[in-house]
Structure 1
Amino acid sequence: METEKATASAWFRELRDQIVAAFEALEDSQPGNGPAGRFEVTETSRASDDGSDAGGGLMSVMRGGRVFEKVGVNISTVYGTLGDRAQKAMAARGVPGMAEDPRFWASGISLVAHMQNPHAPAVHMNTRMFWTPGAWWFGGGSDLNPCIEYDEDTAHFHATQEAHLAPHGAEHYPKLKAWADEYFYIPHRKRARGVGGIFMDDHCTGNWQADFALTQDIGRAFLPAYVPLVEKRRGTEWTDADKDTQLIHRGLYAEYNLVYDRGTKFGLETGHDANAVLMSLPPLAKWV
């Protein structure tokens, strides 16, 4: 499994590099008085109880760009021993052997983009691999979070994802779409966070190569699903009312990530860099 771990970790880094380059190209091609936005890259680390090496990653954040008000693209590879709360959470999900051997290894990419123009949709994407001595699995997906919805944008986002999943079997897209609709639902608001996408977790068929290939295509679907929407909407004229709508919608995003998101809880409970874990929060939000 060490070879598979290294392969997955390298892929997440490759995907990160592709996305960072594409987003900086969007900044370069957007007219504006100020300089095009650029990512600030910071190394992150996971704190272990005994001070031993526990892994880390790269936090790449762009703020105040021409297109992106705030976007983060993080990668990490962390390992060590799960604490009691994380062990119990894993055991509750059916992960075998947690009580006997709580070691873990996890690697992945996580992205959240909040836009300057309220007509350009916010977006989330992540893919990851998780290993314990008793199991391994993949998870992740991407979902679109427009504050001003366009039916044709939603259709494009979903159709692109469906096309990338099709080579792996016709059953995957409807299953992962339904999973996203359920996962990205905000119970206390009785509404979805956005217009959906695809999502999976605990995915392990026993065929590592096949499961990794599916995970790669979930990642590969992201740029062609999202970038054309940004190119279409980034120059749309907007009003103060549009901006107000965006800020209120961002409040939903913040509520979901702080209350329900499994990745946020895991990152904080296992001692990863808090700034990297909370990178997904918007720069400004509003509640009524």
Structure 2
Amino acid sequence: MSQEFETRKQTASAWFRQLRDEIVAAFEGLEDRHETDAPAGRFEVTQTKRAADDGADAGGGLMSVMRGGRVFEKVGVNVSTVYGQLGDAAQKSMAARGVPGMDSDPRFWASGISLVAHMQNPHAPAVHMNTRMFWTPHAWWFGGGSDLNPCIEYADDTAHFHAVQKAHLDPHGADLYPRLKDWADEYFYIPHRNRARGVGGIFMDDHCTGDWDADFALTQDIGRAFLPAYVPLVDKRRETAWSDADKDAQLVHRGLYAEYNLVYDRGTKFGLATGHDANAVLMSLPPMAKWV
């Protein structure tokens, strides 16, 4: 593709890094506002690298993880920009999805942000968010979204989360929020448990209308919706009193989250199949969980 797309790739990568910086600052602000005797949590930042079979530069990113904070028991915010050639398994998977040219030309470029937060207080909901851009010499697309994963559900929290998502999507078309909401309900479903892993959100994949600027603007607004949709819920619930039974319910719910990410999540499969840092790929797993 043209030099224009090289500029677009750089623009997308810079946006994901900017969004990462804003989220990290907001989450550390939550830690500061929750005044306890424990020290406020801070992110530990590690550079990650993609392992290319031939040893060539294949990109990487930043893994930012906070553990044992006042509010967050574990939260990771990762950004990466990786490129090179897809391995056989990933190439076949892309070809099976109908990506043009993938059967003969496995070159690719991908950039994105991925976030998962597991909370100290069982009344504060866990959450997931990611947005990404994928490019091949023959195609490009955007994907991602965010979904709320409370172990103790509050109808007003769910309503707020969805309302903010809708407000950010409506300028891009009145049909978009209902369609991406339904997509999230379908995607974040655990078939072997016959249930959703949370209370939903929005999700899209392989999104390419042919208008890069419009599709990128939509992707940006999905990212911009995250903090106003989520941070007020944490502020509302972080000081709620909780019992041992509440914590037990949280650990069981985390088991569902772990099952989904290891068995079904497309991003987990892609990251491991393309040789990205396994610790960064599996950052989404909870620090503790249980099964009954």
TM-score (norm 1): 1.00
Superposed, 1:1-288 pairs within 5 Å as: 1-288=5-292
CA distance in 1, matches of 2:172, 2:179: 12
Post-superposition Cα deviations, 1:134-188, rounded to whole Å, max 9, x if no partner, equal 1000000000000000000000000000000011010110000000000000000
2:182 and 2:92 map into 1 onto residues whose CA distance is 27
- Aligned residue pairs total 288
Q: Which moved more, 1:83-92 or 1:110-119?
A: 83-92
- The secondary structure found in structure 2 opposite 1:236 is coil
CA RMSD of aligned residues (A): 0.3
Any gaps of 5 or more consecutive residues in structure 1? none
Deviation at 1:100, TM superposition (A): 1.5
Amino acid at match of 1:17: D
Unaligned stretches of 5+ in structure 2?
none
State the identity as a percent: 85
Classify the secondary structure of the residue corresponding to 1:188: helix
Q: SS of the counterpart of 1:10?
A: helix
- 2:87 and 2:66 mapped to 1: Cα distance? 33
1:161-216 deviations in Å (ceiling 9; x for gaps): 00000110101100000000000000000000000000000000000000000000
Deviations 1:35-59 (A, max 9, x none): 1000000000000001010000000
Q: Following superposition, which runs of at least 4 residues in structure 1 exceed 6 angstroms of deviation?
A: none
How many Å apart are 1:92 and its aligned residue?
Answer: 1.1
State the AA in 2 paired with 1:282.
P
